[in-house]
Structure 1
Amino acid sequence: MNTFPRHLLITRDSHADTRLDLLKGALAADAIVPYLGPGLLQLGCAKPVVPHSPEAVAAALTKRAPAPSKIRTNMWSVAQFIEQRRHRRTLQGWMAEIFAAPAAPTALHAWLATLPLSLIVDSWYDGTMRAALIATGRRDVVEIQGVTRANETRDIWTKAYDLSGNELDAVPSVETVLYVPHGSVRPAANFLISDSDYVEALTDIDIQTPIPDQVKQRRSNRGFFFLGCRFDDQMLRTYARQIMKRSDGPHFALIDGSELTRNERRFLAACAVTVIDMPISEAAARLAGSLPSDQNG
Protein backbone atom coordinates (compact mmCIF):
# COMPACT_ATOMS: atom_id res chain seq x y z
CA MET A 1 0.00 0.00 0.00
CA ASN A 2 1.09 3.55 -0.71
CA THR A 3 -0.21 6.88 0.50
CA PHE A 4 -0.09 10.33 -1.01
CA PRO A 5 -0.25 13.62 0.88
CA ARG A 6 -3.64 14.39 2.46
CA HIS A 7 -3.98 10.73 3.39
CA LEU A 8 -5.14 9.35 0.07
CA LEU A 9 -5.05 5.57 0.37
CA ILE A 10 -4.15 3.58 -2.75
CA THR A 11 -4.13 -0.22 -2.83
CA ARG A 12 -2.09 -2.15 -5.37
CA ASP A 13 -1.01 -5.67 -6.30
CA SER A 14 -2.19 -8.40 -3.90
CA HIS A 15 -3.85 -5.83 -1.64
CA ALA A 16 -5.93 -4.64 -4.62
CA ASP A 17 -6.85 -8.24 -5.52
CA THR A 18 -8.06 -8.90 -2.00
CA ARG A 19 -10.00 -5.65 -1.82
CA LEU A 20 -11.67 -6.29 -5.16
CA ASP A 21 -12.76 -9.77 -4.10
CA LEU A 22 -14.31 -8.27 -0.97
CA LEU A 23 -16.08 -5.66 -3.07
CA LYS A 24 -17.43 -8.36 -5.37
CA GLY A 25 -19.04 -9.95 -2.33
CA ALA A 26 -20.34 -6.59 -1.14
CA LEU A 27 -21.99 -5.93 -4.50
CA ALA A 28 -23.60 -9.36 -4.51
CA ALA A 29 -24.90 -8.71 -0.98
CA ASP A 30 -26.23 -5.22 -1.87
CA ALA A 31 -23.86 -3.71 0.69
CA ILE A 32 -22.31 -1.10 -1.65
CA VAL A 33 -23.59 1.07 -4.52
CA PRO A 34 -21.93 0.84 -7.94
CA TYR A 35 -21.35 4.31 -9.44
CA LEU A 36 -20.61 3.86 -13.15
CA GLY A 37 -18.74 6.22 -15.45
CA PRO A 38 -17.95 6.51 -19.16
CA GLY A 39 -14.64 4.67 -18.80
CA LEU A 40 -16.57 1.38 -18.84
CA LEU A 41 -17.35 1.92 -22.52
CA GLN A 42 -13.74 1.04 -23.33
CA LEU A 43 -14.04 -2.48 -21.93
CA GLY A 44 -13.45 -4.90 -24.78
CA CYS A 45 -13.72 -2.10 -27.32
CA ALA A 46 -10.76 -0.03 -28.48
CA LYS A 47 -13.05 2.57 -30.06
CA PRO A 48 -16.46 2.89 -28.37
CA VAL A 49 -19.43 3.66 -30.62
CA VAL A 50 -20.28 6.74 -28.53
CA PRO A 51 -18.06 9.29 -26.76
CA HIS A 52 -16.46 7.95 -23.58
CA SER A 53 -15.34 11.21 -21.95
CA PRO A 54 -16.52 14.82 -21.61
CA GLU A 55 -13.66 15.85 -23.92
CA ALA A 56 -14.93 13.47 -26.60
CA VAL A 57 -18.44 14.94 -26.34
CA ALA A 58 -16.96 18.43 -26.66
CA ALA A 59 -15.13 17.35 -29.81
CA ALA A 60 -18.29 15.84 -31.30
CA LEU A 61 -20.27 19.00 -30.61
CA THR A 62 -17.51 21.24 -31.96
CA LYS A 63 -17.63 19.36 -35.27
CA ARG A 64 -21.23 20.50 -35.59
CA ALA A 65 -20.67 24.07 -34.39
CA PRO A 66 -17.05 25.22 -34.06
CA ALA A 67 -16.54 26.72 -30.61
CA PRO A 68 -13.89 29.23 -29.49
CA SER A 69 -10.53 27.60 -28.87
CA LYS A 70 -10.44 28.57 -25.18
CA ILE A 71 -13.52 26.42 -24.42
CA ARG A 72 -13.21 23.77 -27.13
CA THR A 73 -12.29 20.91 -24.77
CA ASN A 74 -14.88 21.77 -22.09
CA MET A 75 -18.11 19.86 -22.73
CA TRP A 76 -20.28 22.07 -20.55
CA SER A 77 -19.01 25.32 -22.05
CA VAL A 78 -19.26 24.09 -25.64
CA ALA A 79 -22.83 22.97 -24.97
CA GLN A 80 -23.64 26.39 -23.50
CA PHE A 81 -22.12 28.07 -26.57
CA ILE A 82 -24.39 26.01 -28.85
CA GLU A 83 -27.47 26.54 -26.70
CA GLN A 84 -27.02 30.32 -26.75
CA ARG A 85 -26.39 30.54 -30.49
CA ARG A 86 -28.41 27.69 -31.99
CA HIS A 87 -31.24 27.06 -29.47
CA ARG A 88 -31.79 24.36 -26.88
CA ARG A 89 -33.63 22.09 -29.34
CA THR A 90 -30.55 22.04 -31.58
CA LEU A 91 -28.27 21.08 -28.69
CA GLN A 92 -30.62 18.34 -27.55
CA GLY A 93 -30.97 16.99 -31.08
CA TRP A 94 -27.22 16.88 -31.60
CA MET A 95 -26.68 15.11 -28.28
CA ALA A 96 -29.30 12.52 -29.31
CA GLU A 97 -27.40 12.02 -32.58
CA ILE A 98 -24.04 11.71 -30.85
CA PHE A 99 -25.35 9.02 -28.47
CA ALA A 100 -27.75 7.33 -30.91
CA ALA A 101 -25.67 4.20 -31.50
CA PRO A 102 -26.48 1.63 -28.81
CA ALA A 103 -23.41 0.63 -26.82
CA ALA A 104 -23.49 -3.09 -26.08
CA PRO A 105 -23.47 -3.94 -22.37
CA THR A 106 -20.19 -5.43 -21.18
CA ALA A 107 -19.90 -8.55 -19.05
CA LEU A 108 -19.63 -6.25 -16.03
CA HIS A 109 -22.90 -4.46 -16.88
CA ALA A 110 -24.58 -7.84 -17.47
CA TRP A 111 -23.36 -9.16 -14.11
CA LEU A 112 -24.48 -6.08 -12.21
CA ALA A 113 -27.90 -6.35 -13.84
CA THR A 114 -28.45 -9.76 -12.25
CA LEU A 115 -27.69 -8.60 -8.70
CA PRO A 116 -30.35 -7.56 -6.15
CA LEU A 117 -28.89 -4.05 -5.92
CA SER A 118 -31.02 -1.42 -4.24
CA LEU A 119 -29.31 1.40 -6.12
CA ILE A 120 -27.12 1.79 -9.20
CA VAL A 121 -25.78 5.18 -10.26
CA ASP A 122 -24.93 5.64 -13.95
CA SER A 123 -23.22 8.97 -14.56
CA TRP A 124 -23.06 8.89 -18.37
CA TYR A 125 -25.51 9.47 -21.22
CA ASP A 126 -25.23 6.19 -23.15
CA GLY A 127 -27.92 4.05 -21.48
CA THR A 128 -25.76 0.91 -21.37
CA MET A 129 -26.72 -0.07 -17.82
CA ARG A 130 -30.38 0.37 -18.73
CA ALA A 131 -29.89 -1.95 -21.71
CA ALA A 132 -28.25 -4.57 -19.49
CA LEU A 133 -31.19 -4.48 -17.08
CA ILE A 134 -33.67 -4.79 -19.96
CA ALA A 135 -31.77 -7.81 -21.29
CA THR A 136 -32.40 -9.69 -18.04
CA GLY A 137 -36.17 -9.36 -18.45
CA ARG A 138 -36.46 -7.77 -15.02
CA ARG A 139 -39.55 -5.72 -14.20
CA ASP A 140 -38.56 -4.66 -10.68
CA VAL A 141 -36.47 -1.67 -11.80
CA VAL A 142 -37.23 2.04 -12.09
CA GLU A 143 -34.90 4.53 -13.73
CA ILE A 144 -34.77 8.07 -12.35
CA GLN A 145 -33.08 10.60 -14.64
CA GLY A 146 -31.95 14.13 -14.02
CA VAL A 147 -33.64 16.56 -16.43
CA THR A 148 -32.91 20.08 -17.58
CA ARG A 149 -35.33 22.67 -16.29
CA ALA A 150 -34.96 24.57 -19.57
CA ASN A 151 -37.76 22.42 -21.05
CA GLU A 152 -39.99 22.37 -17.98
CA THR A 153 -42.75 24.57 -16.66
CA ARG A 154 -43.01 22.41 -13.52
CA ASP A 155 -40.71 22.64 -10.52
CA ILE A 156 -39.03 19.27 -11.07
CA TRP A 157 -35.48 17.96 -11.08
CA THR A 158 -35.99 14.40 -12.31
CA LYS A 159 -38.28 12.11 -14.30
CA ALA A 160 -38.89 8.41 -13.70
CA TYR A 161 -39.33 5.64 -16.26
CA ASP A 162 -39.94 1.94 -16.29
CA LEU A 163 -37.74 -0.24 -18.48
CA SER A 164 -40.34 -0.16 -21.26
CA GLY A 165 -39.76 3.57 -21.54
CA ASN A 166 -43.03 4.70 -19.99
CA GLU A 167 -42.82 7.84 -17.87
CA LEU A 168 -44.13 7.31 -14.35
CA ASP A 169 -46.05 9.86 -12.30
CA ALA A 170 -44.70 8.35 -9.08
CA VAL A 171 -41.88 5.96 -8.25
CA PRO A 172 -43.31 2.60 -7.14
CA SER A 173 -41.65 0.32 -4.62
CA VAL A 174 -39.11 -1.71 -6.59
CA GLU A 175 -36.00 -3.73 -5.87
CA THR A 176 -33.61 -1.61 -7.94
CA VAL A 177 -33.44 2.11 -8.64
CA LEU A 178 -31.19 3.10 -11.55
CA TYR A 179 -30.25 6.73 -10.93
CA VAL A 180 -28.91 8.65 -13.92
CA PRO A 181 -28.17 12.12 -12.50
CA HIS A 182 -27.06 13.76 -15.76
CA GLY A 183 -29.79 12.28 -17.96
CA SER A 184 -29.59 9.74 -20.78
CA VAL A 185 -30.26 9.37 -24.47
CA ARG A 186 -32.88 6.72 -23.74
CA PRO A 187 -35.80 6.63 -23.49
CA ALA A 188 -36.50 10.37 -23.87
CA ALA A 189 -33.21 12.17 -24.68
CA ASN A 190 -32.90 13.98 -21.37
CA PHE A 191 -29.54 15.74 -21.03
CA LEU A 192 -28.00 17.92 -18.36
CA ILE A 193 -25.14 19.18 -20.47
CA SER A 194 -24.79 22.98 -20.66
CA ASP A 195 -23.56 25.34 -17.97
CA SER A 196 -27.06 26.79 -17.65
CA ASP A 197 -28.50 23.32 -17.00
CA TYR A 198 -26.43 23.16 -13.84
CA VAL A 199 -26.93 26.68 -12.50
CA GLU A 200 -30.08 25.90 -10.51
CA ALA A 201 -28.98 22.35 -9.69
CA LEU A 202 -25.69 23.49 -8.21
CA THR A 203 -27.46 26.24 -6.29
CA ASP A 204 -29.67 23.70 -4.54
CA ILE A 205 -27.57 20.56 -4.55
CA ASP A 206 -25.81 21.39 -1.29
CA ILE A 207 -29.18 21.05 0.45
CA GLN A 208 -29.82 17.91 -1.62
CA THR A 209 -33.04 19.14 -3.29
CA PRO A 210 -32.19 17.81 -6.80
CA ILE A 211 -31.39 14.31 -5.48
CA PRO A 212 -34.42 11.98 -5.38
CA ASP A 213 -35.70 10.75 -2.03
CA GLN A 214 -35.33 7.16 -3.21
CA VAL A 215 -31.60 7.73 -3.71
CA LYS A 216 -31.22 9.41 -0.32
CA GLN A 217 -32.94 6.49 1.38
CA ARG A 218 -31.02 3.74 -0.38
CA ARG A 219 -27.57 5.26 0.04
CA SER A 220 -27.95 5.88 3.77
CA ASN A 221 -26.47 2.59 4.99
CA ARG A 222 -24.08 1.94 2.11
CA GLY A 223 -20.90 3.24 0.52
CA PHE A 224 -20.10 3.81 -3.15
CA PHE A 225 -17.84 1.96 -5.57
CA PHE A 226 -16.75 4.14 -8.50
CA LEU A 227 -16.09 2.22 -11.73
CA GLY A 228 -14.97 3.91 -14.95
CA CYS A 229 -15.14 7.37 -13.36
CA ARG A 230 -12.73 10.28 -13.32
CA PHE A 231 -12.95 13.42 -11.20
CA ASP A 232 -10.76 15.80 -13.16
CA ASP A 233 -13.48 18.46 -13.50
CA GLN A 234 -15.19 20.43 -10.76
CA MET A 235 -18.66 19.51 -12.06
CA LEU A 236 -17.92 15.78 -11.77
CA ARG A 237 -16.47 16.20 -8.28
CA THR A 238 -19.41 18.28 -7.08
CA TYR A 239 -22.02 15.78 -8.21
CA ALA A 240 -20.16 12.77 -6.88
CA ARG A 241 -19.63 14.49 -3.52
CA GLN A 242 -23.31 15.38 -3.18
CA ILE A 243 -24.53 11.93 -4.21
CA MET A 244 -22.19 10.40 -1.61
CA LYS A 245 -23.34 12.88 1.02
CA ARG A 246 -24.88 11.34 4.16
CA SER A 247 -24.04 7.82 3.03
CA ASP A 248 -22.35 5.48 5.48
CA GLY A 249 -19.32 4.50 3.41
CA PRO A 250 -16.75 3.14 2.98
CA HIS A 251 -16.07 4.33 -0.57
CA PHE A 252 -13.77 2.93 -3.26
CA ALA A 253 -12.72 3.94 -6.78
CA LEU A 254 -11.10 1.87 -9.48
CA ILE A 255 -8.62 4.30 -11.08
CA ASP A 256 -5.11 4.14 -12.51
CA GLY A 257 -3.17 5.79 -9.70
CA SER A 258 -0.48 7.10 -12.06
CA GLU A 259 -3.05 9.22 -13.94
CA LEU A 260 -4.58 10.99 -10.96
CA THR A 261 -4.46 14.77 -11.08
CA ARG A 262 -3.73 16.86 -8.01
CA ASN A 263 -7.38 17.89 -7.76
CA GLU A 264 -8.50 14.28 -8.03
CA ARG A 265 -6.16 13.26 -5.22
CA ARG A 266 -7.44 16.04 -3.01
CA PHE A 267 -11.06 15.17 -3.76
CA LEU A 268 -10.63 11.44 -3.16
CA ALA A 269 -8.72 12.03 0.06
CA ALA A 270 -11.26 14.56 1.34
CA CYS A 271 -14.13 12.15 0.61
CA ALA A 272 -12.26 9.18 2.13
CA VAL A 273 -12.35 7.23 -1.13
CA THR A 274 -9.80 4.41 -1.32
CA VAL A 275 -8.27 4.01 -4.77
CA ILE A 276 -7.88 0.51 -6.22
CA ASP A 277 -4.99 0.83 -8.65
CA MET A 278 -5.65 -1.87 -11.25
CA PRO A 279 -6.37 -1.91 -15.01
CA ILE A 280 -10.10 -1.59 -15.50
CA SER A 281 -10.21 -4.56 -17.87
CA GLU A 282 -8.60 -6.84 -15.27
CA ALA A 283 -10.86 -5.59 -12.50
CA ALA A 284 -14.02 -5.93 -14.58
CA ALA A 285 -13.10 -9.50 -15.52
CA ARG A 286 -12.43 -10.34 -11.88
CA LEU A 287 -15.73 -8.87 -10.75
CA ALA A 288 -17.78 -10.48 -13.52
CA GLY A 289 -16.13 -13.84 -12.85
CA SER A 290 -14.43 -14.36 -16.19
CA LEU A 291 -10.89 -14.80 -14.88
CA PRO A 292 -9.55 -18.36 -14.56
CA SER A 293 -10.17 -19.82 -11.12
CA ASP A 294 -6.48 -19.85 -10.22
CA GLN A 295 -6.48 -16.05 -10.65
CA ASN A 296 -9.54 -15.50 -8.56
CA GLY A 297 -7.68 -16.16 -5.34
Structure 2
Amino acid sequence: MNDQDSKPHHGDVVADPPRGFMARVRNYFLTGLVVAGPVAITFYLTWWFVNWVDGFVRPFVPVDYRPETYLPFPVPGSGLVVAFVALTLLGFLTANLIGRTLVDLGERVLGRMPVVRAIYRGLKQVFETLFSGSGSSFRKVGLVEFPSPGMWSIVLISQPPSVEIEAKLPGQDEHISVFLPCAPNPTTGFFFYVPKSKVILIDMTAEDAATLIMSAGVVQPGSDPQKKIAALAETVLAAKAANEPESAFSRHRVKAPDKAPDKVDQA
Protein backbone atom coordinates (compact mmCIF):
# COMPACT_ATOMS: atom_id res chain seq x y z
CA MET A 1 0.00 0.00 0.00
CA ASN A 2 1.39 3.37 -0.96
CA ASP A 3 2.21 5.68 1.92
CA GLN A 4 0.91 8.65 -0.04
CA ASP A 5 -2.62 7.20 0.00
CA SER A 6 -2.73 7.41 3.80
CA LYS A 7 -1.61 11.04 3.86
CA PRO A 8 -4.28 13.75 3.85
CA HIS A 9 -4.81 15.43 0.52
CA HIS A 10 -4.66 19.14 -0.12
CA GLY A 11 -7.41 21.00 1.74
CA ASP A 12 -8.40 18.05 3.97
CA VAL A 13 -9.26 18.98 7.57
CA VAL A 14 -7.51 16.94 10.19
CA ALA A 15 -9.89 15.87 12.96
CA ASP A 16 -9.31 17.10 16.49
CA PRO A 17 -7.51 14.67 18.76
CA PRO A 18 -9.70 12.90 21.34
CA ARG A 19 -10.54 15.09 24.29
CA GLY A 20 -9.08 14.25 27.65
CA PHE A 21 -10.83 12.81 30.65
CA MET A 22 -10.93 16.09 32.56
CA ALA A 23 -12.46 17.90 29.58
CA ARG A 24 -15.30 15.37 29.49
CA VAL A 25 -15.81 15.68 33.24
CA ARG A 26 -15.93 19.46 32.95
CA ASN A 27 -18.53 19.32 30.17
CA TYR A 28 -20.67 16.85 32.09
CA PHE A 29 -20.45 19.02 35.18
CA LEU A 30 -21.50 22.16 33.30
CA THR A 31 -24.39 20.32 31.66
CA GLY A 32 -25.55 19.02 35.03
CA LEU A 33 -25.24 22.51 36.48
CA VAL A 34 -27.43 23.92 33.72
CA VAL A 35 -30.07 21.26 34.35
CA ALA A 36 -30.02 21.34 38.15
CA GLY A 37 -29.44 25.08 38.63
CA PRO A 38 -32.92 26.34 37.65
CA VAL A 39 -34.58 23.53 39.63
CA ALA A 40 -32.53 24.26 42.75
CA ILE A 41 -33.16 28.01 42.54
CA THR A 42 -36.89 27.44 42.01
CA PHE A 43 -37.11 25.19 45.07
CA TYR A 44 -35.06 27.63 47.11
CA LEU A 45 -37.28 30.60 46.21
CA THR A 46 -40.42 28.55 46.86
CA TRP A 47 -39.08 27.42 50.25
CA TRP A 48 -38.12 30.99 51.12
CA PHE A 49 -41.59 32.29 50.20
CA VAL A 50 -43.33 29.58 52.25
CA ASN A 51 -41.16 30.29 55.30
CA TRP A 52 -41.67 34.04 54.87
CA VAL A 53 -45.46 33.65 54.83
CA ASP A 54 -45.32 31.26 57.79
CA GLY A 55 -43.25 33.72 59.81
CA PHE A 56 -45.63 36.54 58.95
CA VAL A 57 -48.89 34.67 59.64
CA ARG A 58 -47.86 32.45 62.60
CA PRO A 59 -47.98 35.26 65.23
CA PHE A 60 -51.65 35.84 64.38
CA VAL A 61 -52.57 32.18 64.90
CA PRO A 62 -53.28 31.15 68.52
CA VAL A 63 -50.85 28.66 69.99
CA ASP A 64 -53.58 26.05 70.48
CA TYR A 65 -54.26 26.03 66.72
CA ARG A 66 -50.66 25.67 65.57
CA PRO A 67 -49.59 22.22 64.28
CA GLU A 68 -46.25 22.34 66.08
CA THR A 69 -48.10 22.47 69.38
CA TYR A 70 -49.20 18.86 68.91
CA LEU A 71 -46.32 17.61 66.77
CA PRO A 72 -42.63 17.29 67.70
CA PHE A 73 -41.63 19.15 64.54
CA PRO A 74 -42.86 22.29 62.73
CA VAL A 75 -45.05 21.91 59.66
CA PRO A 76 -43.90 24.19 56.82
CA GLY A 77 -46.70 25.76 54.83
CA SER A 78 -49.26 25.92 57.62
CA GLY A 79 -49.14 29.70 57.62
CA LEU A 80 -49.52 29.72 53.84
CA VAL A 81 -52.68 27.62 54.14
CA VAL A 82 -54.07 29.98 56.79
CA ALA A 83 -53.28 33.01 54.61
CA PHE A 84 -54.97 31.40 51.58
CA VAL A 85 -58.13 30.59 53.57
CA ALA A 86 -58.19 34.06 55.13
CA LEU A 87 -57.79 35.87 51.80
CA THR A 88 -60.44 33.68 50.16
CA LEU A 89 -62.85 34.35 53.01
CA LEU A 90 -62.09 38.07 52.79
CA GLY A 91 -62.86 38.06 49.07
CA PHE A 92 -66.12 36.21 49.70
CA LEU A 93 -67.19 38.72 52.33
CA THR A 94 -66.17 41.68 50.16
CA ALA A 95 -68.40 40.44 47.35
CA ASN A 96 -71.44 40.74 49.64
CA LEU A 97 -73.25 43.91 50.58
CA ILE A 98 -72.02 43.91 54.17
CA GLY A 99 -68.44 43.35 53.09
CA ARG A 100 -68.55 46.14 50.54
CA THR A 101 -69.95 48.48 53.18
CA LEU A 102 -67.09 47.67 55.56
CA VAL A 103 -64.52 48.12 52.77
CA ASP A 104 -66.00 51.50 51.82
CA LEU A 105 -65.89 52.56 55.45
CA GLY A 106 -62.24 51.55 55.74
CA GLU A 107 -61.35 53.40 52.53
CA ARG A 108 -63.02 56.56 53.81
CA VAL A 109 -60.99 56.33 57.01
CA LEU A 110 -57.74 55.86 55.06
CA GLY A 111 -58.72 58.65 52.67
CA ARG A 112 -58.56 61.15 55.52
CA MET A 113 -54.96 60.36 56.37
CA PRO A 114 -52.66 62.66 54.35
CA VAL A 115 -49.65 60.36 53.86
CA VAL A 116 -51.39 56.99 54.02
CA ARG A 117 -54.02 58.09 51.50
CA ALA A 118 -51.57 58.49 48.61
CA ILE A 119 -49.81 55.19 49.36
CA TYR A 120 -53.07 53.25 49.69
CA ARG A 121 -54.62 54.61 46.51
CA GLY A 122 -51.49 53.94 44.48
CA LEU A 123 -51.12 50.38 45.76
CA LYS A 124 -54.81 49.69 45.26
CA GLN A 125 -54.68 50.77 41.63
CA VAL A 126 -51.58 48.64 41.01
CA PHE A 127 -53.14 45.53 42.57
CA GLU A 128 -56.43 46.03 40.73
CA THR A 129 -54.56 46.43 37.45
CA LEU A 130 -52.29 43.41 37.88
CA PHE A 131 -54.70 40.93 39.45
CA SER A 132 -57.94 41.91 37.80
CA GLY A 133 -59.20 39.19 35.47
CA SER A 134 -60.65 41.73 33.04
CA GLY A 135 -57.60 43.99 32.95
CA SER A 136 -55.34 44.18 29.92
CA SER A 137 -52.21 45.76 31.41
CA PHE A 138 -49.01 43.78 30.86
CA ARG A 139 -50.95 41.01 29.10
CA LYS A 140 -50.00 42.14 25.59
CA VAL A 141 -46.46 42.05 24.23
CA GLY A 142 -45.08 44.25 21.48
CA LEU A 143 -41.93 45.47 19.77
CA VAL A 144 -40.66 49.04 19.69
CA GLU A 145 -37.66 50.48 17.90
CA PHE A 146 -35.37 51.12 20.85
CA PRO A 147 -32.67 52.20 21.74
CA SER A 148 -31.69 53.24 18.20
CA PRO A 149 -33.09 52.85 14.67
CA GLY A 150 -32.88 49.26 13.47
CA MET A 151 -32.80 47.82 17.00
CA TRP A 152 -36.02 46.36 18.40
CA SER A 153 -36.91 45.66 22.01
CA ILE A 154 -39.69 43.66 23.65
CA VAL A 155 -42.15 45.72 25.69
CA LEU A 156 -45.20 44.99 27.83
CA ILE A 157 -48.14 47.16 26.89
CA SER A 158 -49.86 49.00 29.72
CA GLN A 159 -52.66 51.60 29.76
CA PRO A 160 -53.22 54.69 27.61
CA PRO A 161 -52.01 57.94 29.19
CA SER A 162 -54.38 60.12 31.19
CA VAL A 163 -56.09 63.09 29.62
CA GLU A 164 -53.62 65.53 31.21
CA ILE A 165 -50.57 63.67 29.93
CA GLU A 166 -52.09 63.02 26.50
CA ALA A 167 -52.69 66.75 26.07
CA LYS A 168 -49.01 67.50 26.72
CA LEU A 169 -47.58 64.84 24.39
CA PRO A 170 -46.44 66.26 21.03
CA GLY A 171 -48.15 65.31 17.81
CA GLN A 172 -51.65 64.12 17.05
CA ASP A 173 -50.93 60.39 17.23
CA GLU A 174 -52.54 58.22 19.86
CA HIS A 175 -50.04 57.17 22.51
CA ILE A 176 -49.73 54.12 24.71
CA SER A 177 -47.65 53.48 27.81
CA VAL A 178 -45.21 50.57 27.67
CA PHE A 179 -42.75 48.95 30.02
CA LEU A 180 -39.43 47.74 28.63
CA PRO A 181 -37.93 45.06 30.93
CA CYS A 182 -34.17 44.73 31.23
CA ALA A 183 -32.27 41.46 30.90
CA PRO A 184 -31.70 39.33 32.89
CA ASN A 185 -33.87 40.93 35.60
CA PRO A 186 -37.26 41.77 34.05
CA THR A 187 -38.47 43.52 37.22
CA THR A 188 -36.37 46.55 36.29
CA GLY A 189 -36.54 48.51 33.07
CA PHE A 190 -37.85 51.65 31.40
CA PHE A 191 -41.35 53.09 31.33
CA PHE A 192 -42.25 55.53 28.56
CA TYR A 193 -45.03 56.69 26.25
CA VAL A 194 -44.80 55.83 22.58
CA PRO A 195 -47.13 56.42 19.62
CA LYS A 196 -49.46 53.46 19.24
CA SER A 197 -48.60 53.22 15.55
CA LYS A 198 -44.94 52.60 16.46
CA VAL A 199 -45.75 49.48 18.50
CA ILE A 200 -45.83 46.12 16.71
CA LEU A 201 -48.01 43.58 18.51
CA ILE A 202 -46.65 40.04 18.61
CA ASP A 203 -48.39 36.77 19.44
CA MET A 204 -46.58 36.06 22.71
CA THR A 205 -47.68 35.81 26.32
CA ALA A 206 -46.16 37.93 29.06
CA GLU A 207 -44.72 34.77 30.66
CA ASP A 208 -42.94 33.80 27.43
CA ALA A 209 -41.63 37.34 27.07
CA ALA A 210 -40.26 37.28 30.61
CA THR A 211 -38.59 33.91 29.97
CA LEU A 212 -37.07 35.22 26.74
CA ILE A 213 -35.69 38.29 28.50
CA MET A 214 -34.35 36.43 31.55
CA SER A 215 -32.54 33.91 29.34
CA ALA A 216 -31.17 36.69 27.08
CA GLY A 217 -32.72 35.04 24.03
CA VAL A 218 -31.42 31.54 24.74
CA VAL A 219 -34.86 30.07 25.53
CA GLN A 220 -37.22 30.86 22.67
CA PRO A 221 -41.01 30.68 23.13
CA GLY A 222 -42.61 27.45 21.94
CA SER A 223 -39.36 25.49 21.79
CA ASP A 224 -39.06 21.94 23.03
CA PRO A 225 -37.93 21.62 26.70
CA GLN A 226 -35.07 19.32 25.73
CA LYS A 227 -33.95 21.83 23.13
CA LYS A 228 -34.08 24.55 25.79
CA ILE A 229 -31.75 22.56 28.04
CA ALA A 230 -29.42 21.81 25.14
CA ALA A 231 -29.35 25.49 24.16
CA LEU A 232 -28.50 26.51 27.71
CA ALA A 233 -25.75 23.90 27.86
CA GLU A 234 -24.28 25.08 24.56
CA THR A 235 -24.32 28.66 25.82
CA VAL A 236 -22.40 27.73 28.96
CA LEU A 237 -19.86 25.70 27.00
CA ALA A 238 -19.40 28.49 24.43
CA ALA A 239 -18.84 31.06 27.17
CA LYS A 240 -16.36 28.74 28.86
CA ALA A 241 -14.48 28.15 25.60
CA ALA A 242 -14.37 31.88 24.83
CA ASN A 243 -12.62 32.58 28.12
CA GLU A 244 -9.98 29.92 27.58
CA PRO A 245 -6.90 30.54 25.39
CA GLU A 246 -6.99 28.66 22.14
CA SER A 247 -4.52 25.78 22.01
CA ALA A 248 -2.90 24.07 19.07
CA PHE A 249 -4.80 20.84 19.80
CA SER A 250 -8.22 22.55 19.74
CA ARG A 251 -7.74 24.09 16.30
CA HIS A 252 -8.43 22.36 13.03
CA ARG A 253 -5.16 21.67 11.28
CA VAL A 254 -5.17 22.03 7.53
CA LYS A 255 -2.41 20.41 5.56
CA ALA A 256 -0.29 22.89 3.67
CA PRO A 257 -0.63 22.75 -0.11
CA ASP A 258 1.88 20.55 -1.83
CA LYS A 259 4.58 22.20 -3.87
CA ALA A 260 3.61 22.38 -7.50
CA PRO A 261 5.75 20.07 -9.67
CA ASP A 262 8.27 21.66 -11.93
CA LYS A 263 7.12 22.20 -15.45
CA VAL A 264 8.55 19.60 -17.85
CA ASP A 265 9.47 20.88 -21.23
CA GLN A 266 8.05 18.83 -24.01
CA ALA A 267 10.52 17.49 -26.45
Q: TM-score range by the shorter chain?
A: under 0.3
Which is richer in helix?
2
Q: TM-score, normalised by structure 1?
A: 0.24
Greater share of residues in strand: 1
Structure of greater Rg: 2
